[in-house]
Amino acid sequence: MGILIFLVILVALWQVSYWLFVEVLEIWKAYSMPSPLGVGQRFLELCGNGTIGTALVNSLLRGIAGYAIAVALGILLGLLINQFQYLQKNLKPVVLGVQTLPSVCWVPFSILWFGLSTQAILFVVIMGSAFGIAISVDNAINNILPIYKKAALTMGANKRQLYQYVIFPACLPELVSGLKQGWSFAWRALMSGEVMTTSIGLGQTLIMGRDLADINQVMLVMIIIVAVGIVIDKCVFSVIEKRMQKKRGLAG
């Protein structure tokens, strides 16, 4: 209830600011300042013709597909880096460096290699999040107390048992945090890929609003992008984290 009241106050202040600075003082132009009423009207219009629904579904499908591939590749790469000292010393710094690249840097490669296609968008998503997930996997394993591994090896555990019963359960909380961060990277990378292509999605709808000088549509898409991120966090990652905490006796 508290968050709902806060949002109502925020929207009210937004509308008052629009009325004051655009309609009364005329400091800003109407085409450069979105208003809650304008955004709401544009939302109803785009819902009515199916634009928002189609764009949202397409973006979610691409985001989930690209993220799933990035998770598989990131976990594999992270395990390899952690397992082999040569890769830990030589490859990890490269992965860290590549991870600092903004996702938009991969867009020219994706367009040249895959054209203006869904594959190009997926490539940007994968490259934008896989390396971050790999680093998270390596760090999660490295942060396990050495005594756990030594105790398991002393009791005769082989490598498979060590990973299955000791390493994976011990690093799971930090690993989930890394996967959560990886999703945020993937979602942002998805928008970078969609704004540069002609595939229908939230990113392309945002650029369409810019091309039409429709600031309300631009603001609407931005709000939806943020809302999707919040919903995914609350309904997926937060639920997983709470279940882990409860299972480990860390939550009431």
Q: Is the pLDDT of residue 68 over 90?
A: yes
pLDDT above 90 covers a percentage of the chain that reads 29
Average pLDDT over residues 44-67: 91
Claim to verify: residue 77 and residue 4 sit in the same structural domain: no
Claim to verify: residue 20 and residue 139 sit in the same structural domain: no
- With respect to residue 235, please indicate whether it lies within any of the assigned structural domains: yes
Q: Is the pLDDT of residue 250 over 70?
A: no
21-37 tens-digit pLDDT: 887 777 888 888 898 99
Query: Per the confidence metrics, is the pTM higher than 0.85?
Result: yes
Claim to verify: residue 28 and residue 142 sit in the same structural domain: no
Task: Look up the domain containing 25 and give its range.
Answer: 1-33
Under 8 Å between Cβ of 82 and 138 = yes
- With respect to residue 252, please indicate whether it lies within any of the assigned structural domains: no
pLDDT of residue 227: 92
182-202 tens-digit pLDDT: 999 999 899 888 887 777 889
Claim to verify: residue 8 and residue 72 sit in the same structural domain: no
Alpha helices (H) in the chain, listed in sequence order? 2-18, 36-48, 51-83, 85-99, 107-114, 118-142, 146-154, 159-162, 168-195, 202-211, 215-232, 238-247
Claim to verify: residue 3 and residue 115 sit in the same structural domain: no
Instruction: Report residue 251's pLDDT band, with 50, 70 and 90 as the boundaries.
Output: low
CATH of the domain at 64: 1.10.3720.10
- With respect to residue 132, please indicate whether it lies within any of the assigned structural domains: yes
